[in-house]
Structure 1
Amino acid sequence: MTADRYANLCIGITGLNANDNPGPGIAVIRALKAGLGNNIRIIGLSYESMEPGIYMHELVNKTYQIPYPTAGTAALLERISYINEQEKLDLIIPNFDSELYNFIRISAQLQQMGIRTYLPSHEQLALREKVNLGDFGKKHGFNVPADRKLFRIDDLKKAKEDLNFPLMIKGKFYEAYVAYTMDQAIKAFHQLSATWGHPVIAQQHIKGTEINIAALGDGNGNNISIIPMRKLYITDKGKAWAGVTIEDPKLIDLANQFAKATNWRGGYELEIMRDADDNLFILEINPRFPAWIYLTAAAGQNQPEALVKMAFGEMPEPMNEYQVGKLFIRYSWDHVVDIVDFQQISARGEL
Structure 2
Amino acid sequence: MLFYQSDSQLRLVSRHRDRLAQAFRFVLAEPLLVESLLDKAKFQDLAERMKLPVPAARRICPTGNDPEEIGLNFPIIVKPVQHAERDMVAWKLIASSHKALLVETPETLRVLWPHFVAANLDLLFQEAILGPENRIESYHVYLDQTGAIVAEFTGRKIRTLPVTCGLSTAVETTDAADVREIGRDIVQKLDLRGVAKLDFKRCLKGNLYLLEINPRFNLWHHLGAVAGVNLPGLVYADLTGLPRPVGRVARAGVRWVAPWADMRAAQESGIPITTWLWWLLHCEAKAGIAWDDPMPIVKKVLARIPRSRGALAQNEPYATS
Write the deviation string for residues 299-332 of structure 1: whole angstroms up to 9, x where unpaired: 1000111121223356848965210110112113
Counterpart in 2 of 1:130? Answer: 40
CA contact (8 A) 2:138 2:179 kept: no
The answer to whether 1:177 aligns with 2:101 is yes
Write the deviation string for residues 252-288 of structure 1: whole angstroms up to 9, x where unpaired: 1122112211221222111110112221100111121
Within 5 A, what are the aligned runs for 1:281-296? 281-296=209-224
Secondary structure of residue in 2 paired with 1:259: helix
Counterpart in 2 of 1:55? Answer: none
Write the deviation string for residues 4-47 of structure 1: whole angstroms up to 9, x where unpaired: xxxxxxxxxxxxxxxxxxxxxxxxxxxxxxxxxxxxxxxxxxxx
Write the deviation string for residues 226-257 of structure 1: whole angstroms up to 9, x where unpaired: 22111111112522111221111111112211
C-alpha change, 1:302 and 1:312, in structure 2 (3 Å) is same
Q: For structure 2, which runs of at least 5 residues remain unmatched after alignment? A: 84-98, 261-296, 304-321
C-alpha change, 1:137 and 1:329, in structure 2 (3 Å) is same
Looking at structure 2, the residues matched to 118 and 156 of structure 1 have their Cα atoms a distance apart, in angstroms, of: 43
Secondary structure of residue in 2 paired with 1:263: coil
CA contact (8 A) 1:268 1:290 kept: no
CA contact (8 A) 1:268 1:289 kept: yes
1:183 is displaced (CA, Å) by 4.8
Counterpart in 2 of 1:92? Answer: 2
Looking at structure 2, the residues matched to 318 and 119 of structure 1 have their Cα atoms a distance apart, in angstroms, of: 23
1:203 to 115, 122, 126: 126
Counterpart in 1 of 2:160? Answer: 234
Secondary structure of residue in 2 paired with 1:133: helix
Give 1:116's aligned amino acid.
R
C-alpha change, 1:222 and 1:184, in structure 2 (3 Å) is farther
Counterpart in 1 of 2:55? Answer: 145
CA contact (8 A) 2:11 2:35 kept: no
2:77 to 168, 189, 193: 168
CA contact (8 A) 1:224 1:317 kept: no
TM-score, length basis structure 1:
0.62
Secondary structure of residue in 1 paired with 2:182: helix
Write the deviation string for residues 192-211 of structure 1: whole angstroms up to 9, x where unpaired: x56xxx42111110113111
CA contact (8 A) 1:271 1:285 kept: yes
Aligned residue-pair number: 241
Q: For structure 1, which runs of at least 5 residues remain unmatched after alignment? A: 1-90, 338-351
Counterpart in 2 of 1:60? Answer: none
Looking at structure 2, the residues matched to 148 and 327 of structure 1 have their Cα atoms a distance apart, in angstroms, of: 35
Counterpart in 1 of 2:205? Answer: 277
C-alpha change, 1:302 and 1:220, in structure 2 (3 Å) is same
Within 5 A, what are the aligned runs for 1:1-351? 91-112=1-22, 114-128=23-37, 129-155=39-65, 157-158=67-68, 160=70, 162-174=71-83, 175-180=99-104, 181-183=108-110, 185-186=112-113, 189=116, 193=119, 198-208=121-131, 209-236=135-162, 237-313=165-241, 316=244, 321-332=249-260, 334=300
1:297 is displaced (CA, Å) by 0.3
Percent identity among equivalent residues? 22
1:185 is displaced (CA, Å) by 4.0
Looking at structure 2, the residues matched to 186 and 153 of structure 1 have their Cα atoms a distance apart, in angstroms, of: 9
TM-score, length basis structure 2:
0.67
Looking at structure 1, the residues matched to 200 and 246 of structure 2 have their Cα atoms a distance apart, in angstroms, of: 23
CA contact (8 A) 1:153 1:186 kept: no
CA contact (8 A) 2:72 2:127 kept: yes
1:167 is displaced (CA, Å) by 1.6
Counterpart in 2 of 1:340? Answer: none
Looking at structure 1, the residues matched to 181 and 160 of structure 2 have their Cα atoms a distance apart, in angstroms, of: 25
Looking at structure 2, the residues matched to 259 and 318 of structure 1 have their Cα atoms a distance apart, in angstroms, of: 23
Looking at structure 2, the residues matched to 200 and 301 of structure 1 have their Cα atoms a distance apart, in angstroms, of: 36
CA contact (8 A) 1:212 1:270 kept: yes
C-alpha change, 1:106 and 1:137, in structure 2 (3 Å) is closer
1:336 is displaced (CA, Å) by 6.5
Secondary structure of residue in 2 paired with 1:92: coil
